A and B are shown apart, each in its own frame.
Chain A
């Protein structure tokens, strides 16, 4: 679903520095444990999608949530990371998992 069709205005833009919430709730979650609490930069806005946490529970997951690709430096995510300081890991983060 496109953001335009839904009239959803995403809160964040490409280039914004965002932090993933450091939460550990229950249920079906598509924000991997290893990235929670880490900060990265929005690489692109993928669109808006129904919330998988709700779809997993037989609910419709609407309103669709903006989904961002966020780029994190590996050296920020993993203690003692050895590699190129420019190495990155990129994931899709739903807007509700981004810290206000």
Chain B
């Protein structure tokens, strides 16, 4: 129903709470850190608001919203926001994705410093 955002779920029926705990992978912590920097909570890199982050998460198709992990949603939202803000272009992103994807597994492993 279009009148109610898929994220706006207070009071809707749902199953039992799965008390899952999750040790965050480094890439997820990097997404979190990037968010903090880009919304300007810390540092000098403010380029967006947390409201845009939320808006772009809410814009995900319901089936994707449900299937995606939390930081999956955030990284898509951050990237969409950067495109909307003109910080990056779709074409730049396409070329970078190709470049990153085209590297061998060993090179890909080296691209991310252990922290």
Quick check: do A and B touch in the complex, using CB within 8 A?
yes
Mask, B35-71, CB within 8 Å of A = 1, is: 0000000000000010110110010000000000000
Chain B, interface size category, equals 10 to 19
Q: Across the interface, do B52 and A56 meet the contact criterion of CB distance under 8 Å?
A: yes
Whether a CB of chain B sits under 8 angstroms from the CB of A88 is no
B5 CB-CB contact with A under 8 Å = yes
By size class, the interface of chain A is: 10 to 19
Does B3 contact A56, Cβ atoms closer than 8 Å? no
Interface of chain B, main secondary structure: loop
| Docked-complex contact B11 and A78, CB < 8 angstroms | yes
> 1/0 contact trace for B15-28 toward A, CB 8 Å?
00000000000000
A58 CB-CB contact with B under 8 Å:
yes
B90: Cβ under 8 A from any A Cβ: no
**Are B52 and A58 closer than 8 Å at their CB atoms?**
yes
- 5 A-B residue pairings within 8 Å (CB atoms): A29-B5, A33-B8, A52-B54, A55-B52, A56-B51
Give residues in B with beta carbon < 8 Å to A.
3-5, 8, 10-11, 49, 51-52, 54-55, 58, 84-85
